[in-house]
């Protein structure tokens, strides 16, 4: 069985994360609905039928995929090696203490030429809230504490696919801007999404009201829409990779091209002039 190796302090307090998710409300899981539609669209573009699907999600009721095996989002995934031709990691990977380990487990669960689709929140998510809370806490208390989950950038996350052994890795993203009546509604909605603060290094005592009051002032001053509502950004990163198979396209070996770039562009090749070394 795969077991994650931890060499650094844990990012996520898993018991706290489970408690947050247990309080989630179905009406607030609209971003999961968005990702479910995105999955359907991407699968429609793949000329391949999938019969053994594993769906990794903390909210199984959101996903209506007939015949799919629902797999809880845990550090060690309930996946059988080579047991699936499609694995979907559905908007939970950003909370993983070992994201590479999660991807490796998904890779091992795929048969050759099996497809992996992963979705998670990216680094631009809640950038407005992150900045306002940090400034407010620094002004009011003179210090900072972890309040918003640090999330990966698209370039780094794409590299993780390669580290995990996926072929033909692709990372892309799309952004959703959601508007809220006020700062309080945003905070309530995040709790209802199950996306409250579950950081292992979070402050373990109640935050003074003055911090949130100042954050609300900053948010309204800097991130109000023309109608007075507040904007919140959610960046969703999609990860696509295939279990290696001999039928897949492979890059050419260096020097194996049979036609020069100049010929392909119908232009004349211009050699670089010889130069004398300095000195």
Nearest CA-CA partner of 230 in 189, 177, 175, 181: 181
Residue 100 exposed, middle or buried by CB count within 10 Å (0-12, 13-18, 19+): middle
Per-residue pLDDT, 245: 85
Tracing tokens 């939970």 back to the chain, one arrives at 92
Tracing tokens 């015949």 back to the chain, one arrives at 67
Q: Give dist(CA 142, CA 135) in Å, integer.
A: 10
Q: Is residue 254 part of a domain?
A: no
C-beta of residue 235 within 8 angstroms of C-beta of residue 123? yes
Residue ranges of alpha helices (H) inside the chain are 14-22, 30-44, 99-109, 127-141, 154-163, 183-192, 209-222, 261-264
Per-residue pLDDT, 270: 57
Q: Is residue 257 part of a domain?
A: no
Per-residue pLDDT, 65: 82
Compute CA 179 distance to the chain's CA centroid, rounded to the nearest angstrom.
21
Q: Is residue 209 part of a domain?
A: yes
Q: Is residue 85 part of a domain?
A: yes
Q: Is residue 255 part of a domain?
A: no
Per-residue pLDDT, 279: 45
- What is the three-class DSSP state of 9? coil
The b/e string for 16-38 (b: 16+ C-beta within 10 A; e otherwise) is ebeebbeebeeebbebbebbbee
Q: Is residue 176 part of a domain?
A: yes
Per-residue pLDDT, 254: 53
β-strand partners of 236: 121, 174
Q: Is residue 218 part of a domain?
A: yes
Per-residue pLDDT, 181: 97
Q: Is residue 229 part of a domain?
A: yes
Count of the separate structural domains present in the chain: 1
Q: Which domain holds residue 62?
A: 14-247
Q: What are the per-10-residue average pLDDT scores of the chain (279 residues)?
A: 58 95 95 94 93 94 86 95 97 95 98 97 96 97 91 91 95 97 97 95 91 98 97 97 84 55 58 51
CA–CA distance from 68 to each of 46, 80, 113, 167, 177 (Å)? Answer: 18, 14, 18, 23, 30
CATH (domain of 136): 3.40.50.150
Per-residue pLDDT, 190: 97
**Rounded-to-10 torsion of CA 182, 122, 15, 54:** 120
Per-residue pLDDT, 47: 86
Per-residue pLDDT, 195: 96
């Amino acid at each position: 069985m795969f077991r994650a190796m931890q060499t650094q302090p844990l990012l996520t307090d898993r018991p706290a994360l489970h408690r947050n998710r247990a309080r989630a409300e179905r009406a607030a899981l609209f971003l999961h609905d968005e990702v479910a539609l995105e999955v359907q669209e991407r699968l429609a573009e793949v000329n391949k039928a999938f019969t053994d699907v594993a769906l990794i999600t903390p909210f199984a009721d959101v996903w209506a995929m007939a015949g799919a095996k629902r797999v809880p989002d845990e550090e060690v995934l309930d996946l059988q090696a080579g047991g699936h031709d499609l694995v979907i990691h559905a908007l939970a990977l950003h909370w993983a203490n070992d994201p590479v380990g999660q991807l490796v487990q998904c890779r091992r669960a795929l048969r050759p030429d099996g497809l992996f689709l992963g979705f998670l929140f990216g680094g631009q998510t809640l950038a407005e809230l992150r900045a306002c809370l940090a400034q407010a806490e620094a002004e009011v208390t003179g210090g900072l504490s972890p309040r918003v989950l640090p999330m990966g950038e698209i370039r780094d996350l794409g590299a993780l696919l390669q580290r995990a052994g996926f072929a033909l890795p692709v990372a892309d993203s799309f952004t959703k801007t959601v508007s809220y009546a006020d700062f309080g509604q945003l905070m309530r909605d995040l709790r209802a999404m199950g996306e409250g603060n579950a950081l292992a290094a979070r402050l373990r005592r109640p935050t003074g009201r003055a911090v949130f009051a100042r954050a609300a002032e900053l948010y309204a001053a800097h991130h109000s829409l023309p109608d007075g509502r507040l904007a919140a950004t959610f960046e969703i990163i999609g990860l696509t990779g295939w279990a290696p198979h001999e039928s897949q396209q492979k890059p050419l070996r260096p020097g194996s091209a049979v036609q020069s770039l100049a010929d392909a562009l119908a232009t004349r090749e211009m050699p670089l002039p010889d130069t004398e070394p300095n000195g």
